[in-house]
Amino acid sequence: MLWHNIIILLKKFKILFLLTVRVDSRERIFGSIYM
């Protein structure tokens, strides 16, 4: 049960990490266009 919870947490962090990386890359692309 404990391992199951840890795996769920890792998946959530992975999704959050992927989302933040995507947003960061978008901001860099838009920033380079507007600059």
- Dump pLDDT digits (tens) for 1-35: 788 999 999 999 998 888 888 877 878 777 777 76
Alpha-helical regions (H) of the chain: 2-34
pLDDT for 31: 77
pLDDT for 12: 94
Amino acid of residue 28: R
pLDDT for 32: 77
Measured at the CA of 9, the angle between CA 25 and CA 12, to 5 degrees, comes to: 30
pLDDT for 35: 60
The dihedral through the CA atoms of 24, 27, 32, 35 has a sign that is negative
Quote the CA–CA distance of 17 and 23 in Å, as a whole number: 10
